[in-house]
Amino acid sequence: MATLARTQRRSGLSRRQKTQLWRATQYAVFVAAVVLTALLADWSVLTENFTRPEYARQMFPELVTVALRNTVVYTLAGFAFGLVLGLAVALMRLSTAAPYRWAAMVYIEIFRGLPALVIFILVGVGLPLAFPGLSFPGGTYGKVAFALGLVSAAYMAETIRAGIEAVPKGQMEAARSLGMSHGRAMRSIVIPQAFRIIIPPLTNELVLLFKDSSLVLFLGVSLGERELTKFGRDLASGTANSTPIIVAGLTYLVITIPLGALVRRLEAHNRKAR
């Protein structure tokens, strides 16, 4: 009691008053930062360069029919390939055969460590040099799916492995006691439960891939194969105005924000199911 009384006297404030003071300080700093930014920015130049409606208008309908469409196609193709490859790597990682585990580890460490940009350049420039005459099924689409898949598989493999390990050991035992082989038990019992657990992190991975699809820029694509970023950049350099970049950027948010909301709902759902 004595200590408490002394502390109170020194600051002269109750705990409640201190909390209020701290909160007021936080608001003040925030408002100051906003006002300062608004005052210091050159709004006329900004408006001129980034928000010209006539440049935005000329982006339609190709923004949706070509650019957004291609972004979605690239992302989904890359995700599908990455998921298959990631599952394979995850199963190798959990294998009882040591060489498989090592191969999986090497793959994960390399492709998780390399910047996605470097992987795109390797796939776009390195592979054709290494294997002359190599052509991807599906042309550019196949090439992009391959590069995006390589990037995402390393992350997904670790996520899938964690999901598999989160399924209680008794599930495998029960399945085996019913006469299922190890592979059958994995396919029918363990992996379905693992995927239920990892749907939220996998959806997050989809959001990341969606953005990484902008690296298609470095593969060299034809007009009809352009995705959002390339499309926005081409128009921006054509018009010497950055409005198309802003519009293309906002288009990403149209997809990623609902996906983020979906992830939060799935996570809440999973928490309830436990």
Partner 1 sequence: MSRKASADGPAIEIRDLHKRFGDVEVLKGIDFHVDHGEVVCVIGPSGSGKSTLLRCVNLLEQPTAGRIVVAGEEVTDPEVDIDAVRRRIGMVFQQFNLFPHLTVLENLTIAQRRVLRRGRREADAVARENLTRVGLVDRAAVYPAQLSGGQQQRVAIARALSMGPELMLFDEPTSALDPELVGDVLAVMRELADEGMTMMVVTHEMSFAREVADRVVFMDGGVVVEQGPPEAVLEHPEQARTRAFLARVLDPAAAGSVEV
Is residue 183 within the footprint of partner 1 (CB under 8 A)? no
The residue among 174 and 250 lying less far from partner 1, judged by its C-beta, is 174
**Alpha helix ranges (H) inside the chain:** 2-11, 15-40, 43-50, 53-57, 62, 69-93, 98-113, 116-121, 127-130, 139-166, 169-177, 182-185, 191-212, 228-239, 243-273
- Coil, strand or helix at 248: helix
Among 32, 139, 173, 261, binds partner 1 (CB under 8 A): 173
Binding segment toward partner 1, per CB under 8 A, in 31-39, 66-74, 166-174, 252-260: 166-174
Provide, rounded to whole angstroms, the least separation between the CB of residue 129 and partner 1: 47
Is residue 165 within the footprint of partner 1 (CB under 8 A)? no
The residue among 162 and 180 lying less far from partner 1, judged by its C-beta, is 180
Closest CA to 174 of 189, 162, 196, 163: 189
Distance between start and end Cα atoms, the chain: 44
Binding segment toward partner 1, per CB under 8 A, in 22-30, 61-69, 164-172, 246-254: 164-172
Is residue 270 within the footprint of partner 1 (CB under 8 A)? no
> By the criterion CB under 8 A, which residues form the site for partner 1?
168, 170-171, 173-181, 184, 188-189, 192-193, 196, 273
